[in-house]
Amino acid sequence: MFAVIVALVAVPFAAAIASLIAPPRAGAAITVTSGVASFGLVLALVPAAAHRTLGYGSYVRVDAVSVIFMLATGFLYAAVAVYCAGYVRKETEGEEPAAARRYTRRFYALFNLFGWSMLVAPTMNSLALLWIAVEVTTVVSALLVALENTDAAVEAAWKYVLIASAGLGLGLLATIFAYFAGAQVLGQHYDLALNTVLQVGARLPHTPVRLAFMLAVLGYGTKVGLFPVHTWLPDAHSEAPTPVSALLSGSLLAVSFYAILRYFQIATATLGSAFPRDVLLAFGVASLLLASLYLLDQRDLKRLLAYSSVEHMGILAIGVSFGAPVALAGVMLHVLAHAAAKGNAFMGAGVFTIKFGSKQISAHRGAMDLLPWSGPMFLLAVFALSAMPPFGIFRSEFQIVAGGFSSHSYAAAAVLVVLVTVAFFGLTASATSMLLSSPRSATVRGEPSAWMVVPVVAGIAVLLVLGLHPPSELTGLISRAVAQLGGAA
């Protein structure tokens, strides 16, 4: 398995370098190959991670929780890489050849580097290295947000850098307090390895652990998009190139939530489950409330989907706060299903933007007729995000709500159901106005590119599999992840 992990780290990084120096036409082939290969390598880790933790020294640690988040990133990296082959070609049509070559090289190099950074982060054993890995994702994603080089894109990237940097500053303080807590038991020279900290969790001093967890939720929560540190997210998702928006929403937010989960494990081992669960419940409910209300009145399609991401991150936080094994299993499944559904939704939004020349919802009229594949599939993506059966998010949210009732968190579970219903109305109202209204102009019927359709079909297939009958290997992986998060206790 060590060779698989090394290959997983090496392949996308090599693809980033190759995309930068190879002819621009080769960038798409390199990226697709890297994305598909990376996803295959993550799949190869599933059987081993479902039965044991893969540890290699103090720096690399891959367990079931890690692999679930790597699966979400790996699938989305592969799907969006295929989508990029059509998207970049359409984006550079009509530009000067030299400008098109520069854009293509930069896009594919940064895109592969972004995928690499998000695959590497969950393999970090040290809390300090985890912080560095998340910081790398910030730098690369900020460059991608500004890639279009418009005033709005540069402003969104600058806002993102400022807010995310402040958040990661708090994350660094969380790392320092975690080190201080561990040093009281392990001495001054221990290396912040997660497995070491967890082994002595019951002996750690409570106050620095409590501070570390709070700072981690606030700090990494900035990247997750939790209220009130979410304000960068709608602007960045709206202005970034569409494939980048898909990775930001489906993968980057989840990787940042992964960092919070690691601090949740430490806090639970030291403080018991009550305090960390209450903190996550408060942030989760606030985020879900904000997102569901904002979804009722959005005019920009990508901002609509960005607030949907805030909604689903709130659902993850609430699910962990319930603490019941079935709720934690729902959270793990939700990470995967949300990645597929949100990736599909953003890829559909990219097709709409190219077809109608605008991100405004009011400009997307008659999409169901004009886009015979992307129109219906976007509707299915909205249904999936709204937790309609038989898609994976219905199954995951059902498990989360069931976990709320089984843990006697009746009020929180009821609030979750009500706010998810409000969000459903906001999403479906916008989708209906775009898909089922009459076209305003004589737009030619047809898809911009087949490359932009195929990965969405794959995403729908994944959502159906997750909703109807998840593979036994995946359910075994999720069960082990639940036990690692404390749900078996």
DSSP label at residue 146: T
Beta-ladder partners of 126: 193
Give CA–CA dist 397/388, Å, rounded: 10
Q: Which two tokens stand for residue 18?
A: 């190759």
Could you tell me which residues come within 8 angstroms of residue 231 by beta carbon, excluding any fewer than 6 positions away? Answer: 159, 163
In 3D space, the residue among 337, 336, 421 whose CA is nearest the CA of residue 381 turns out to be: 337
Model confidence at 150, pLDDT cuts 50, 70, 90, reads: confident
d(CA 284, CA 277): 10
- Looking at residue 441, its pLDDT comes to 65
Task: For residues 61-71, give the mean pLDDT.
Answer: 95
Task: Give the span between the Cα atoms of 83 and 108, in whole angstroms.
Answer: 12
Q: How far apart are CA 283 and CA 313, in angstroms?
A: 10
Write down the pLDDT at residue 135: 93
| 46/110 Cα distance (integer angstroms) | 27
Residue 59 has pLDDT above 90, yes or no: no
DSSP 8-state class, residue 486: T
Is residue 458 helix, strand or coil?
helix
Helices of type H across 187-324: 194-199, 206-224, 232-239, 242-247, 253-271, 274-294, 301-322
pLDDT of residue 1: 81
Using alpha carbons, select from 241, 41, 91, 272 the residue that is nearest to residue 157.
241
Least confident of 31-40, 118-127, 445-454: 445-454
Q: Are 128 and 192 in contact (CB under 8 A)?
A: yes
* pLDDT the model gives residue 472: 94
Tell me the pLDDT tens digit for each residue of 277-323. Answer: 999 999 999 999 999 999 998 888 999 999 999 999 999 999 999 99
Distance CA 343, CA 462 (A): 12
Q: What is residue 442's predicted lDDT score, i.e. its pLDDT?
A: 64
What's the average model confidence in pLDDT over 58-81?
Answer: 95
Query: Could you give the residue ranges of the DSSP H alpha helices within 121-150?
Result: 127-145
Q: How far apart are CA 381 and CA 391, in angstroms?
A: 9
478 burial (CB, 10 Å; 0-12 / 13-18 / 19+) is buried
pLDDT of residue 383: 94
Partners of 55 in the β-ladder: 61
Tens digit of each residue's pLDDT (9 = 90 or more) over 312-361: 999 999 999 999 999 999 999 999 999 999 999 999 999 999 988 888 88
Domain contains 140 = yes
Residue 25's domain comprises: 2-484
pLDDT tens across 18-51, in order? 999 988 889 999 999 999 999 999 999 999 999 9
Q: Is residue 5 pLDDT above 50, yes or no? A: yes
Statement: residue 489 has pLDDT above 60? no
pTM value is 0.95
Does the pLDDT of residue 255 top 90, yes or no?
Answer: yes
* Residue 122 CA: distances (Å) to CA of 119, 262, 464: 7, 10, 26
pLDDT at 302: 92
Residue 360's DSSP bridge partners are 300
- Identify the pLDDT of residue 488: 42
Asked if the structure places residue 489 within a domain, the reply is no
d(CA 22, CA 14): 12
Mean pLDDT across 134-153: 90
462-472 pLDDT tens trace: 999 999 999 99
Question: What are the phi and psi torsion angles at 230 (to 5°)?
Answer: -105, -5
d(Cα 201, Cα 182) in Å, to the nearest integer?
8
Letter for the amino acid at 448? P
Residue 239 lies in a domain: yes
pLDDT at position 309: 94
pLDDT in tens, 183-233: 999 888 888 888 889 989 899 999 999 999 999 999 999 999 999 888 899
Between CA 389 and CA 424 the distance in angstroms is 13
What is the rounded CA–CA span in Å between residue 14 and residue 34? 9
Q: Is residue 363 part of a domain?
A: yes
HEC assignment per residue over 402-441: HHHHHCCCHHHHHHHHHHHHHHHHHHHHHHHHHHCCCCCC
Residue 434 corresponds to which amino acid? M
Taking residues 140-154, what's their average pLDDT?
Answer: 88
Other beta carbons within 10 Å of 37: 17
d(CA 166, CA 144): 19
- Pairing outcome for strands 54-56 and 60-62: antiparallel
How many angstroms separate the CA atoms of 218 and 468, rounded? 36
Indicate whether 128 pLDDT > 50: yes
Number of domains in the chain: 1
Structure tokens at 162: 């400022």
3-state secondary structure of 309: helix
Mean pLDDT taken over the chain: 92
pLDDT above 90 for 437: no
